[in-house]
Amino acid sequence: MAVCIPENLAVYQTEKLLGEFKEHDIVVRKIIINNVIQKDVCDSKFMLKKAEIQRQYVEKIKNLHNSVAEIPLFEEITEENLIKISREIFKDEI
């Protein structure tokens, strides 16, 4: 698995990483996109704009790999949120 965030530099580094893995015959089964801001919970124009910008990078990452898990940005990590995260990461395997 590769893990990244939906930001310009992170997407660029992930592209490079995937290329290097491919050169060495290392299989990446999934890309996890961490800290994705959900539009429906944005309470300011700033956060809404940030979510829109992130969405562009999420789509770019999805074009890099056929198996992608989006993990939302949580205010705090609770047991319930950990369950949500694990379900998203392993949804294709459960």
- Domain extent listing, the chain: 2-89
Q: Is the pLDDT of residue 94 over 70?
A: no
User: What is the tens place of the pLDDT at every residue in 35-66?
Assistant: 999 988 888 999 999 999 999 999 999 999 99
Q: Parallel, antiparallel, or unpaired for β 68-72 and 2-4?
A: unpaired
pLDDT tops 70 at residue 92: yes
pLDDT number for residue 91: 84
75 vs 19, residue with greater confidence: 19
Residue-level pLDDT at 16: 97
pTM for the model stands at: 0.84
- Please report how the helices 45-64 and 8-23 are oriented relative to each other, as an axis angle in degrees rounded to 10: 10
| Domain 2-89 architecture | 3-Layer(aba) Sandwich (3.40)
Q: How far apart are CA 50 and CA 42, in angstroms?
A: 9
Q: List, as one string, the DSSP characters of 39-89.
A: GGG--SHHHHHHHHHHHHHHHHHHHH-S-EEEEEPPSS--HHHHHHHHHHH
